């Protein structure tokens, strides 16, 4: 099993920045991809970004391209999401997730096995 704990959420004004962190523990050797998702009340969980920490491959969903940056520190088993130019539409609970995928890049929440408890981001 993999345990994921997010932190770094908070309230920020439009145009501001936040950096989210996600620390992984447990069987960290079992995943090769990590991702960030977000969810607002009444809406489904949507993808934000994904990364292959070992190879550096990254993927961004259109809504955050050019504004958010996903990165990982393998020595610390930590995933990051640098969020710049935030706007009210970015308000959501943000979740990190991990999975093992042999081919391609996981973009759907259904492709991820382990999830954190989430951290709230509010832009207003």
Residue by residue, pLDDT tens for the chain (124 residues) are 999 999 999 999 999 999 999 999 999 888 999 999 999 988 889 999 999 998 889 999 999 999 999 999 999 999 999 999 999 999 999 999 999 988 888 999 999 999 999 999 999 9
Phi first, then psi: give them for residue 58, nearest 5 degrees.
-130, 155
Secondary structure of residue 90 in the 3-state scheme:
helix
63: left (phi over 0), alpha (psi -120 to 50) or beta: alpha
- Given a contact cutoff of 8 angstroms between Cβ atoms, the answer to whether 96 and 116 are in contact is yes
- Given a contact cutoff of 8 angstroms between Cβ atoms, the answer to whether 119 and 11 are in contact is no
Nearest Cα to 19, choosing from 98, 94, 124, 107? 94
Q: How far apart are CA 61 and CA 69, in angstroms?
A: 11
Q: Is 102 exposed, middle or buried (0-12, 13-18, 19+ CB in 10 A)?
A: exposed
- Given a contact cutoff of 8 angstroms between Cβ atoms, the answer to whether 29 and 96 are in contact is no
pLDDT the model gives residue 103: 85
pLDDT the model gives residue 101: 87
**CA gyration radius, the chain:** 13
pLDDT the model gives residue 55: 83
pLDDT the model gives residue 28: 86
């Amino acid at each position: 099993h993999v345990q994921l704990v997010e932190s770094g959420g908070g309230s920020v004004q439009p145009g501001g920045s936040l950096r989210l962190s996600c620390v992984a523990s447990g069987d960290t050797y079992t995943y090769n991809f990590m991702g960030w998702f977000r969810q607002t009340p009444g809406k489904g969980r949507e993808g934000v970004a994904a990364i292959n920490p070992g190879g550096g491959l990254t993927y961004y969903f259109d809504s955050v391209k050019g504004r958010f940056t996903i990165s990982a520190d393998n020595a610390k088993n930590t995933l990051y999401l640098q969020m710049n130019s935030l706007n009210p539409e970015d308000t959501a609970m943000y979740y990190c997730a991990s999975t093992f995928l042999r081919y391609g890049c996981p973009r759907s929440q259904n492709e991820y096995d382990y999830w954190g408890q989430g951290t709230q981001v509010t832009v207003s």
